[in-house]
Amino acid sequence: MQRGNIFDYKNYLYFKLAVVMILLAFAAFMLFEPAVGHYGGSWIGYGLGVISAVMVLWMAWYGVRKRRYRSAGTTQGWLSAHIYLGTALTVIVTLHSGFHFGFNIHTLAYGLLLVVVVSGFFGNYTYMIYPRQMTENMGEDSLDGLLLRIAEADKLARQIALLMPDDINDIVTHACRSTFIGVGLLEQLRGFQPNCPSALAVQKLTTMGNHLSTDQRKLHRELYSIMVRRQSLVKRARQDLMYRSRLGFWLYFHVPFAVALLVAMTAHIIAVFFYW
């Protein structure tokens, strides 16, 4: 049994490979300078360009590979290679360009590549920190379980609130009706609702118990504890949705930009050969 994460997979095999690739590319770049200076069309530029194009295609193939469950080997190894070699790719592509940039399809492809790689870095960051926090937040509970318990608390709170004065009933009803959990992407990513009615209800209920009759006071205490419990459940459910959405959000950049990169790269290659 071997436990390692995607970064230290097989004792940093792909990290080492990426470093070797970068060093080789740099060495070639330094040692062989064409008479006209470095640019994509020199033979060293073409060489690096061909390597980069193959690497881009291979990176994109990861999307297919990870869903081909019958293929041999582990997806973990592929992801580790995807991360390290993808990072090395930015260096190789930069050397391929010979630092010539402009408003054209070539630089567009370069820019798209950078967006893809940077969004990937963000993905790595989320993979490193959120899984642990998610477990701490949820324990053995599932999101469905939490939502069910919130619904139960809602029902109970509203029943008790019916026996209370109108102002308390209004607050509780409002809290139950207007609390939203993960409605809309922005709210999911933020992980909270501005002026959350549940939090406001707990805050207001704290001070509202003074003018009540003895019977109602007992009910008020019960209602209060239900609302506090409910609020913490709401908070946990929102946190969980926040982690989930953050773990997946970066892919909305990574994948579409990768497809755009494939298109731009094809255009770049055709253009280069057309104007040869």
Partner 1 sequence: MALVSGRRRAGTVKARTRCVLIETPRRVMQKLINSVQSMRNILNEVAIKSVVQICIGLSLSGDELNDLAKHAILKSYAAGEDLFHEGDEADGLYLIQSGSVTVSRMIGGKEVVLFYVAAGNYVGEMSLVSGEPRYATVRAAIATEAVLIDAGRMRDIIARNPEIRSALDARFLQHLQEQERRQQQGTTSDNTGTIGNQATPSNLISFLIQQGVGEATDVLLIDESLCIRCNHCEQACSDTHGGATRLDRDAGPIYANIRVPTSCRHCEHPHCMKDCPPDAIHRAPHGEVYIDDSCIGCGNCQQNCPYDVIQMAVVHEQPEPSLWQMLLGIRPQPEIIEGGAKVAVKCDMCKDITGGPVCVRACPVGAALRVNPEELLSYAGSTPGEARLLGSDEN
Pick the closer one to partner 1 by CB: 1 or 36.
Answer: 1
CB of 2 to partner 1, least distance (A): 8
- Residue 78 structure tokens: 């592929």
Q: Which residues bind partner 1 (CB under 8 A)?
A: 1, 3-6, 9, 60, 63-64, 66-70, 72-76, 78-79, 126-127, 130-132, 134-135, 139-140, 142, 244, 247, 255, 259
Pick the closer one to partner 1 by CB: 143 or 228.
Answer: 143
For residues 196 and 34, give the distance between their C-alpha atoms in angstroms, rounded to a whole number: 65
Pick the closer one to partner 1 by CB: 79 or 113.
Answer: 79
For residues 130 and 102, give the distance between their C-alpha atoms in angstroms, rounded to a whole number: 39
Burial tier of 3 (Cβ tally within 10 Å: 0-12, 13-18, 19+): exposed
Pick the closer one to partner 1 by CB: 136 or 166.
Answer: 136
DSSP 94: H
CB of 69 to partner 1, least distance (A): 4
CB of 128 to partner 1, least distance (A): 9
- Residue 216 structure tokens: 């109602």
CB of 7 to partner 1, least distance (A): 10
CB of 95 to partner 1, least distance (A): 28
Residue 55's nearest CA partner among 32, 76, 75, 25 is 25
Alpha helices in the chain (DSSP H): 13-31, 43-65, 75-97, 105-138, 143-161, 166-178, 185-190, 197-207, 214-249, 251-274
Pick the closer one to partner 1 by CB: 37 or 131.
Answer: 131
